[in-house]
Structure 1
Amino acid sequence: MSLVLVSHHLCPYVQRVAIVLAEKGVPFERRNIDLANKPAWFSAISPLGKTPLLLVDDQPIFESAVICEYLEDVFPPRLHPADPLERARHRAWMEFGSTILNTIWKFYVAPNRAALDQQCRELVSQFGRVEAELRTPPFFAGTHFSVVDAVFGPIFRYFDAFARIADFGIFNTTPKVNAWRHALGARASIANAVGADYHDRLDDFLRMRHSEISRLMEQGTSKQQALA
């Protein structure tokens, strides 16, 4: 079986699929594309025009949640729980992870400090809900790495970049979430789901948003230059 993961360098939804593939030890080819200049072959096979897209012997599957479910059906080991109710709970929190990603987008495009602070409060609230759900460390399901972990690993990666800009205090009141964040950051499948130039690419992307985050990054650069 030939697997090709059509990707974008920064896409968190691509990362969750790459993490699941790595956890299952499934070999695959990764093919990055420019979403601002989509190749014709991609547009022809991707109804939504988004990444990720998985080519299985040249047959396309799109949407990260669908791709992860396919991988769960076909390749061991199982990452979802065996119990149907617990499995549904996991899928629900995967969807909540997508909601958090939407808030992260609002956070880094916020045009001014008031809007940024509003989205910061929303992130604190959302992670507070996650805090109440976490049970036994180090992962969402204790010692068993699950697809929920694959979803939240790319979410937490954003906060490494944000922490280089300023201390937003987002995890100050959620110690279990923060511990989970660091446990996932140390996981090889999550660390290797992005390229070596990911952090530079993300920083460049954030600087180009013309947002409050962009302004804070420029302030930091100016201070560093003044001290040099």
Structure 2
Amino acid sequence: MTSLEQPILISFKLCPFVQRAVITLLHKKIDFTIEYINLQKKPDWFLEISPLGKVPLLRVKDRVLFESAVINEYLDETHGEPMLPKDPLEKAEHRAWIEFSSSLFNAQHQLTQARREETYLKIEEDLTKKLAPLERKIGNEGFFEGKSFSLVDSAFAPFLMRSQIVADNIGIDPVSDYKKIVKWRENLLSLPEVKKSVVKDFEDLYMEGIFERGGYLADQ
């Protein structure tokens, strides 16, 4: 691989973990190139450079970074004002919540896969329970903490965007019972870096995926 002047983000259009990295790149105003691949037919060159066979990857000069949380921390440490706290304990706490966000993505994806009502309701119940400690933790200013956009906001924004899309199109919204999370969602989804972090037809593609898979959610 030759050295590259501009970072290249290897992506899949519907991946929430890729979206995290795009949000941070846009927030930091970093010039980058994005390259989409088909995860059903992964190119050989991609498999050669991706240890886990997953997106996102960030190609920086002659090196490749993987795992969205790692990519975002690299971007944060090398460009602009820090999005993680300086205090080691606060920073560790933010990292823990970023890790927690992955469990919400997993539950959200499982909801789109569930075929039986009983299965769907069980997953939804588990997701709702996960949201309770998040509701207690986040602030009242429309961000995870304080009045500024952080890496935690970047990490949760894809989950919140997908929940809003399902709410708008199907009318089911596990987030709706949590007032602070709803306010947080409204604020984050209004930000340019979040709005521009997906392809223009993202909502259509996301809903098409749900309906093509069938199952409980698609039948509502």
TM-score (structure 2 length as normaliser): 0.94
| 1:92-171 pair list within 5 angstroms | 92-171=96-175
The reply on whether 1:178 has 2:182 as its aligned counterpart is yes
The percent identity for this pair of structures is 34
CA deviation profile, 1:69-110 (whole Å, cap 9, x unmatched):
111221112100111111111100001100111111111111
**Conserved 8 A contact 1:120-1:168:** no
Alpha-carbon distance in 2 for matches of 1:120, 1:58: 43
Partners of 1:181 and 1:187 in 2: CA distance: 10
The 5 A counterparts of 1:22-33 are 22-33=26-37
Q: Which amino acid aligns with 2:115?
A: P
CA-atom RMSD in angstroms: 1.2
Whole-Å Cα distance in 2 between the matches of residues 136 and 165 of structure 1? 27
Distance 1:39 1:99 in 2: 28
Aligned pairs (5 A) from 1:8-27: 8-27=12-31
Structure 1: state its 5+ residue gaps: 217-228
TM-score of the two chains, using structure 1 as the length reference:
0.91
Summarize deviations over 1:31-58 as a string: whole Å, max 9, x none: 0100001111111111111000000014
| Runs of 5+ consecutive residues of structure 2 not aligned to the other structure | none
Q: Pick from 185, 189, 192: which aligns with 1:188?
A: 192
Query: Aligned residues, how many?
Result: 216
Does the C-alpha gap of structure 1 residues 114 and 46 become closer, same or farther in structure 2, counting only changes over 3 Å? same
2:130 match: secondary structure: helix
Deviates more, 1:192-201 or 1:131-140: 131-140
Q: 1:205 to 1:58 in 2, by over 3 A?
A: farther
Structure-2 separation of matches of 1:33 and 1:161: 24
Q: Is the contact between residue 124 and residue 170 of structure 1 (CA under 8 Å) also seen in structure 2?
A: yes
In the TM superposition, residue 179 of structure 1 has moved relative to its aligned partner by: 0.3
Distance 2:152 2:37 in 1: 26
Change (3 A) 1:23 1:169: closer
C-alpha separation in 2, matches of 1:171 and 1:5:
30
